[in-house]
Structure 1
Amino acid sequence: MGAGSSRYRQIGAVLRRHGLGVLAGVLGLGGLVPFHRGALGHARQEDPYTNPEHVRVALEELGPTFVKLGQILSTRHDLLPAAWVAEFAKLQDDVAAAPWEGIRDVLREELGADPEHVFAQFDPVPLAAASIGQAYAATLHDGTEVVVKVRRPGVVAQVHEDLDILRNLADRADRRWDAIRQYDLPGLVEEFSRTLRAELDYLQEARNAERFAQEFAHAARVRIPRVHGETTTSRVLTLERMSGVRIDDLEGLDAAGIDRVALARLGADIVLTMVFDNRFFHADPHPGNMFVQPDGALALIDFGMVGGAHRTDHGRPRRHRARLHPRRPGHPHHRPDRTLPDRRRRRPGRAAAGDHRVHGPLPGPFAVGDQPRNHAPAAARHPAAAPAAPSEGDGAAVQSADDGRRDRGAAGSGLPDARRPAALR
């Protein structure tokens, strides 16, 4: 197993410990084995652990890559029972936070000064902790309220190692287990790896947010947070703060007088517009990323995971749905020689028609280069020694963008009002 053998052992230990808990639950012995009293290193709690709790805690202990898997599963009501979906939903914004000292070091390295100098106010208690980063409330010197996302220290190396392990395990399963081969597990891991690696670069997420703002520039009922480029790097992302009621908080929606039928119609129009008109869509639409405004508008956040649909795909929605299920004999798309396209035989960078994939770099106000990042804008305003470039392969320079790029009425942004669904206007 090479250099990653210690990580294999760590993963095995976590799965073994929590697997015993799941087994006890299946056998009806969960209440008799005191996992909730600290057995086998479990955290103490009042009630016995349920099977979904064991799995959720295992994913959290295994770190960012596995937490992201849990987040994806939390949106799959079509695949999992309600109890499992509800438990995995806790991974959306309730992951154990990284220590403030490490986060502070990242901010100092990336922005060239302590956060207390760069921002007028900065709350060290995170608003939310997710798999890749943590979000903090802050205020710019002009009084603008923002959210500052900071990538967890060391997360890049751990994600790359875990993805290599997942790829290795998927290849083994594909070779040795006939029943799993029809699901193209290596292809699924490849797709997951591509999307997760894209999320590691906050400059790319900033570009994605810029593009969504342009696409929905004429949609009065869709809100996209503004990116503040002077305090954005590949490890730090500063966005306009979006408040509101989480879209799954039904009591909160009713208390605010929100028409839930109109909200559902708005959400459907947004999804259809992204996929069929813009061909660029939000690929992580869990409830923690959608907030309903007092006027009924919908604010979208977290643009690290996005996808694109080719022009040739729009006439084949049935084919797309069919690809989500195994191709059994008799299925209209069954191939007797192989159940799914072998993605591993394609040349790097090529995708078959119909694939949804994360976009590469987009034209925008940010430029990623190989040189150390430019700390001049922040350091000039807040005198401090410019730090040495970090070693995680993050060499990137942020170029300032003129204020005009935020004009929601910019020419060429989104669809003409006559073609835009009424719910978006």
Structure 2
Amino acid sequence: MTIHTENTKGSWRAAKLDHLGSSIFAEVASWKEEAKANGKDLIDLGIGSPDQGPSSYIRETLSREVLKEGSYAYPKSSGSEIFLTTVAKWMNHRFQVDLHSQTEIISLMGSQDGLAHLAQAICNLGDLAMVPNPGYPIYSGSLAIAGVRAYEIPLKEDNQFMPDLDAIPDEIWAEAVFILLSFPGNPIASAASQEYFEKLIAKASKWNVLIVHDMAYSEMGFDGYRPMSILSIPGAIETAVEFHSFSKSFQMAGCRIAFLAGNEQAIQSLRILKENIDYGVFEPIQQAAVTALEQAIAEGENYTGPAPLYEARRDLFVDLLAKEGWNIRKPCATMFLWARLPEPFRGKPQEWDSRSFAKALLLHSGVAVIPGDAFGSEGVGYVRIALVQEQERLEEAARRIGEFIRSYR
């Protein structure tokens, strides 16, 4: 990434905005409008927004709290005492991680808020950070905003989309301030073992690199897989922080609440920045999040969260697409499928790439997916599919996709 220093007086647009990933999503939105204008019934499998809301317990808490007279003062920017204390209890319950609630946890307006601001809090202009490619767009976007250079770690299918830590040159480890990874991730769900985390911590400790682990999908593991917190590994607290979100784990995406936990110095740096730019999360939303965590703790091993819903959708949709001629690997977690283009569209770069395929699919069938290059250059030749529709709509989407594939054979 080049850091631009030219004068933008009169243009009122910073050059760093060109490095943000919103342009492809805006392009897909324009295709949706075109498809609807042409009379297509839209089945949107693009944006990963849960199509179901949280439990009745969470909704009842939110309803009750918004009626209280005292709920409308400025909240504490780092999080209310009950929120931080309950987060610490849940982290111990779920991952056997012991955290100091006041110094090793901070509340966020969604994990994207923290991801967007962390580099500004812990890096200086021109520093280097490592991010995955493909990766959630704010990973690299946050570096552009902060004036931080990016070293992209390629995620390759022949390596099960796992970052190859040994392939990162020593000079990069020596220079980097942090490495950002996500297990299971968006757009690709891969599972890190304890051995992998131990190797990552050893590398980061050797080179004094902060590990930033995005764990937004901690409660969406399938086939018996329960995602592991890196903070549960001995020594991690000295060199790692971890993002957790209520958006997917508790179906609270619109509430905008999450937290960052881990290394005290990094947490305090982000706290200082956020104390100067916002006043924290609305208290009733924090109380609703407390209810979500308390419910999960109370149910213990019986708590399943949204995982069974998305596992069933995964199985249904992947099996239906296979019958239609599109074979996709079943992810171990999350609400997304990461899919290579169907066989008839591969090996024809002059005719088809991720974007042209996604556009043609949408205009032909009304089914919206996201081109893989929205997540980085390694996403070329793939699309991301969000399982955010009811079973009946997924069945219809699979049928339409099959018709589209057959029409180009």
**Higher strand proportion:** 2
Task: Work out whether the TM-score is over 0.5.
Answer: no
**What TM-score does the superposition give when structure 2 sets the normalisation length?**
0.31
**Which one has a bigger Cα radius of gyration?**
1
Higher relative contact order (CA 8 A, sep 6+): 2
**What TM-score does the superposition give when structure 1 sets the normalisation length?**
0.30
